Amino acid sequence: MIRERPSAPVLSTVGAMSGPLALVGGSPFRTALPVEAELVVDGVDEVLVLPTGAAYEHPQRLVDAATERFGALGVRVRGIDVLRRPDALDEATAADVAAARFVYLAGTSPLHLRSVLKETPVWEAVVAAWDDGAVLAGADAGAMVLCDPMVDPRGGAFTVGLGLLANVTVIPGFDTWSEDAVHRTRALCPADLVIVGVPEGSALVRDPDGAWRGVGPGELKVFVGGQPGSLEDLPR
């Protein structure tokens, strides 16, 4: 199921349909990922990039790479420096995010991203924008934290995420995981949890009608309760 989400005071979501959702398997903006071109739908003329997960790793470089990538697709990019928790508590920033038509969460530290955004006006604004039909994408850490539980990168167990998706978790860069790491995470998987391994260059996409599909050259791997499954096992 998609977990019930808190409403944001800056935007009403009553009766709204969620927009496209993309969970990208790492390395955003560095190459021409097929999913990014798909996400530039009608009405999108700007991508709002939150490089929160790269707060300690030159976040502006991530914004610059996004500017180059989406510029080639005819769309401008604006970076929002939500790098620390006080940034995510700012109501003006939250209003800016809520008005966006495409929000992209990126970076490599899911634990920092979670600690900055969880239960803040900016996170509520991200959810409100998506509920109102905006495109929402997360790459690497940005994909991991949208799930609850999410995989803890420190050891492959599970920890609390931001909770947009319940009982679904993704492993970005799954093609780089060792067999031992995969086995350990599968062994720790709760019976009702769907794990999707997303290789670099590919993405797991949820369309507005609730259908799930893979985009990109790599094969997605699905496990339910640690056992092999398929995309049909994902909640709509």
Residue 113 in any domain: the answer is yes
pLDDT digits (tens, 9 = 90+) for 162-185: 999 999 999 999 999 889 999 999
Distance between terminal CA atoms of the chain? 7
Tell whether 137 is covered by a domain: yes
Residue at 2 is within a domain: no
Distances (CA, A) of 195 to 214, 221, 228: 14, 8, 9
Q: Is 11 within the bounds of a domain?
A: no
Per-residue pLDDT tens digits for 114-163: 999 999 999 999 999 999 999 999 999 999 999 999 998 888 889 999 99
Q: Judge whether 13 lies within some domain.
A: no
Q: Does residue 5 belong to any structural domain of this protein?
A: no
The continuous run of DSSP H or E covering 143 comes out as helix 141-144
Q: What is the CATH number of the domain that holds 213?
A: 3.40.50.880
Distance CA 207, CA 153 (A): 27
pLDDT at res. 31? 76
Residue 10 lies inside a defined structural domain of this protein: no
Say if residues 214 and 231 touch (Cβ distance below 8 Å). Answer: yes
Count of domains for the chain: 1
Domain that holds residue 45: 21-233
Q: Each residue of 40-80: pLDDT tens digit?
A: 988 899 999 999 999 998 999 999 999 999 999 999 999 99
Tell me, what's the pLDDT at 17? 56
